[in-house]
Amino acid sequence: MLLTPSTYSMTWDLDVIFPGGSSSKEFRDHLEKVEKEIHSFEASIKSWDASGSEDSGLSDILEKFQKADSGLEQAESFVSCLQAQNTDDVNANELRGIVTALASQLNTALTHLDKAILEIDDSVWKSLVENEHLNELSFILNERRRQAVDKLSKEEEALINDLAVDGYHGWEEMYDAIVSQLCIPFKENGKEVLLSVGQAQNKFSSLDRQVRKNVFDEWEKAWGKNAELIATTLNHLSGFRLAVYKKRGWNDVLKEALEYNRMSKETLDIMWKVISDNKKPFVEFLKRKAHLLGVEKLNWYDLDAPATDSSKTYTYREGAAFIIDHFGKFGDELSKFAEKAFKGRWIEAEDRPGKRPGGFCTSFPLSSQSRIFMTYSDTYENVSTLAHELGHAFHTYAMKDVHPLNCHYAMNVAETASTFAETIVADAAFEQAKENSEKIALLESKIQNSIAFFMNIHARFLFETRFYEERKKGMVSTERLNQLMEKAQKEAYADSLSQYHPYFWGSKLHFYISDIPFYNFPYTFGYLFSLGIYAQAKKEGKGYEEKYISLLKDTGRMTVEELAKKHLGADLTKEDFWQAAVDLCIKDVEEFLELTK
Ligand SMILES: [Zn+2]
């Protein structure tokens, strides 16, 4: 039974967070307050005498840190929302600069804390993190201490942080600036229009092959025209990163990413191995899809096109009702939460020019709210994206009673809740479908995820690891970047396409996120990890929600290996777990092949 809500607004409400958008006085005041909090945190570290005594003031320091940290997150989220909703908002860009500088200040202060922590004697440290005030935070404290060992001196790390504002994060801003002025010319009804990157991207799912081809040709041209600028940006961003790694004596480019994701190299390697060993069924799917589209081999621009003409569309209201209803079959908390998000205008979904492409979810810790950004144009994919982002928001909500310093979960587990939410909607929709064509379309949409995580993301990972190795030796030319990308794509897609997307290194913003290196494998991890959880949830029925929430609560205070062991009884360093999850995806392919015989 579908709920029948009145129309939901397609634009979000940011005024309840800070009134007045990018000229908000309240927001300026907030930034000043955060700066004071950072100073106060820094001062407390400097006057800290860590030697000997039981707690010796560390609880107090951490409380100050938490305040500054939450305030900064609130500010970062606000600016992200402002920039995304209107790429021409110059005030927002200026605010971004201020927030980045504050983040750097906080980082520097943290470096001081880390070094102070390092100077504490082992036995004193042990009793410190085991005392009743700090025991709850022992995982993150031990983690900080361990990671601090691998870094440079306090002064050197502080200098790096200061230089990073313009020399590192600045390159990410540069990338955003290039992309926001990029237009893709496109002929529509005999008239030429200029599409933003996000609008052009939506055309790749057009049923009309000619439309896809035209937009892809212009797409490649547009990225090609900007390739030198973007390649320079990528080379400098990665160059800074590598220079810092070298100074710290880190040889493995994956070190930071793995630590950030709290996972071992063993886990990562075994995950990719299982995926590489299981490409065949997905190649079969691509072949069948080519056949259904009436072509010999799929082109890159066919990947997002629906293989079947199931033109079922969902208005925003229908999409919302669909999600709320199907979330409800898994659990009441998730469903009630989604409804609150729609009603409370937590979502920016309007289809209009001048918006950033893509989707994201960001949280406002001081308001206990999240905001979701996307562009909704009535497709099932949009419904799926909406469910995905709501999954992220639910993760934050599930952790509402957890100590704020234990709420920082990494990217790989962040994608768990989102993918989980997406899977609920996909499966429920499939079960409900009556027509064969609708079943095929829904299955395809699910398999498209597998293709994305096992092929597209795999290509990004292969490209990025190889690119970084070459970058260690010097600047990598545009031509070489194209070669590396095409080779990685061919390998990841097991040679199943007729044409690839060499400029993908330019069109994918994930290569330019300075805060988080290797923003790719965590997606694949999250996908398979969530499928593992999903399998368990299906077995246990509606009562599983409580267990699911307790798993989410732990995501910020243990390694992924520990998390899997505690809540799923699984060993992530063994093939079995991954194979079982991939098998679920293969089952979808088999069903698809059967239905489209
Ligand atoms: Zn996500």
Say how many Å lie between the CA of residue 355 and the centre of ligand 1. Answer: 18
Q: CA 195 to CA 405: how far, in whole Å?
A: 42
Say how many Å lie between the CA of residue 448 and the centre of ligand 1. Answer: 15
Q: CA 137 to CA 487: how far, in whole Å?
A: 45
Say how many Å lie between the CA of residue 220 and the centre of ligand 1. Answer: 26
Say how many Å lie between the CA of residue 392 and the centre of ligand 1. Answer: 7
- Helix H segments across 249-297? 255-260, 265-277, 280-293
Say how many Å lie between the CA of residue 419 and the centre of ligand 1. Answer: 7
User: Tokens 């246990």 — which residue?
Assistant: 540
Residue 210: C-alpha distances to residues 187, 206, 380 (Å): 11, 9, 22
CB burial string 94-119: b at 16+ within 10 A, e below: ebbebbbbbbbbbbbbbbbbbbbbbe
pLDDT for 432 equals 83
Enclosing H/E stretch for 192? strand 191-195
Q: CA 445 to CA 415: how far, in whole Å?
A: 18
Say how many Å lie between the CA of residue 495 and the centre of ligand 1. Answer: 28
Q: Within 13 A of 476's CA, how many CA atoms are on the CB side?
A: 26
pLDDT for 307 equals 84
Say how many Å lie between the CA of residue 246 and the centre of ligand 1. Answer: 31
Say how many Å lie between the CA of residue 96 and the centre of ligand 1. Answer: 22
pLDDT for 562 equals 97
Say how many Å lie between the CA of residue 530 and the centre of ligand 1. Answer: 12
Report the amino acid identity of residue 468: Y
Say how many Å lie between the CA of residue 157 and the centre of ligand 1. Answer: 31
Q: CA 17 to CA 15: how far, in whole Å?
A: 5
Say how many Å lie between the CA of residue 40 and the centre of ligand 1. Answer: 34
User: Sheet of 360-364: strands edge to edge?
Assistant: 347-348, 369-373, 360-364
Say how many Å lie between the CA of residue 211 and the centre of ligand 1. Answer: 28
* Cβ atoms of 184 and 197 closer than 8 Å: yes
Say how many Å lie between the CA of residue 359 and the centre of ligand 1. Answer: 8
* Cβ atoms of 441 and 103 closer than 8 Å: no
Say how many Å lie between the CA of residue 589 and the centre of ligand 1. Answer: 23
Say how many Å lie between the CA of residue 122 and the centre of ligand 1. Answer: 39
For CA atoms 339, 382, 260, 104, give the dihedral sign.
Answer: negative
Say how many Å lie between the CA of residue 192 and the centre of ligand 1. Answer: 34
Of the candidates 457, 377, 360, 381, the one whose C-alpha atom is nearest the C-alpha of residue 425 is 381
Say how many Å lie between the CA of residue 413 and the centre of ligand 1. Answer: 10
Give the model confidence (pLDDT) of 138-154 as tens digits: 999 999 999 888 999 87
Say how many Å lie between the CA of residue 12 and the centre of ligand 1. Answer: 19
* Cβ atoms of 583 and 279 closer than 8 Å: no
Q: CA 425 to CA 224: how far, in whole Å?
A: 38
Say how many Å lie between the CA of residue 396 and the centre of ligand 1. Answer: 13
Say how many Å lie between the CA of residue 360 and the centre of ligand 1. Answer: 7
pLDDT for 55 equals 62
For CA atoms 534, 274, 451, 347, give the dihedral sign.
Answer: positive
* Cβ atoms of 281 and 589 closer than 8 Å: yes
pLDDT for 536 equals 84
Main-chain dihedrals φ then ψ at residue 455, nearest 5 degrees: -120, -60
pLDDT for 1 equals 42
Say how many Å lie between the CA of residue 426 and the centre of ligand 1. Answer: 16
* Cβ atoms of 467 and 505 closer than 8 Å: yes
- Helix H segments across 433-513? 436-451, 457-471, 478-492, 504-507
Say how many Å lie between the CA of residue 417 and the centre of ligand 1. Answer: 9
Tokens, residue 356: 């950033």
Report the amino acid identity of residue 507: S
* Cβ atoms of 422 and 79 closer than 8 Å: no
Say how many Å lie between the CA of residue 410 and the centre of ligand 1. Answer: 12
Say how many Å lie between the CA of residue 389 and the centre of ligand 1. Answer: 6
Say how many Å lie between the CA of residue 391 and the centre of ligand 1. Answer: 8
Q: What is the pLDDT along the chain (597 residues), one digit of tens a residue?
A: 444 456 799 999 999 999 999 999 999 999 999 999 999 999 999 888 776 555 668 889 999 999 999 999 999 999 999 999 999 999 999 999 999 999 999 998 998 898 888 888 888 888 888 888 889 999 999 999 998 889 998 789 889 988 999 999 999 999 999 998 999 999 888 899 999 888 898 899 888 999 999 999 999 999 999 999 999 999 999 999 999 999 999 999 999 999 999 999 999 999 999 999 999 999 999 999 999 999 999 999 999 998 877 667 899 999 999 999 999 989 999 999 999 999 999 999 999 999 988 899 999 999 999 999 999 999 888 999 999 999 999 999 999 999 999 999 988 898 899 999 999 999 888 888 888 888 998 899 899 999 999 999 999 999 999 999 999 999 999 999 999 999 999 999 999 999 999 999 999 999 999 988 999 999 999 999 999 899 888 888 878 999 999 999 999 999 999 999 999 999 999 999 999 999 999 999 999 999 998
Q: CA 467 to CA 219: how far, in whole Å?
A: 23
Give the model confidence (pLDDT) of 393-439 as tens digits: 999 999 999 999 999 998 889 889 999 999 999 988 888 888 888 89
DSSP letters for 291-311? HHHT-SSEEGGGTTS-SS---
User: Which residues pair with residue 193 across a beta bridge?
Assistant: 186
DSSP letters for 320-363? HHHHHHHHHHH-HHHHHHHHHHHHTT-EE----TTSPSS-EEEE
Q: Strands 369-373 and 360-364, how do they pair?
A: antiparallel
Q: CA angle 408-461-184, nearest 5°?
A: 95
Tokens, residue 458: 């795999």
Report the amino acid identity of residue 220: E
How remote is the C-alpha of 24 from its chain's centroid? 28
Say how many Å lie between the CA of residue 399 and the centre of ligand 1. Answer: 17
pLDDT for 49 equals 77
Say how many Å lie between the CA of residue 60 and the centre of ligand 1. Answer: 34
Q: Strands 298-299 and 184-188, how do they pair?
A: unpaired
Whether the model pTM is above 0.75:
yes
CB burial string 566-593: b at 16+ within 10 A, e below: ebbebebbeeebbeebbebbbebbebbe
Q: CA 22 to CA 337: how far, in whole Å?
A: 28
Of the candidates 567, 542, 278, the one whose C-alpha atom is nearest the C-alpha of residue 413 is 567
Residue 125: C-alpha distances to residues 111, 269, 556, 557 (Å): 17, 34, 21, 18
| Count of other CB atoms within 10 angstroms of residue 42 | 20
Say how many Å lie between the CA of residue 41 and the centre of ligand 1. Answer: 32
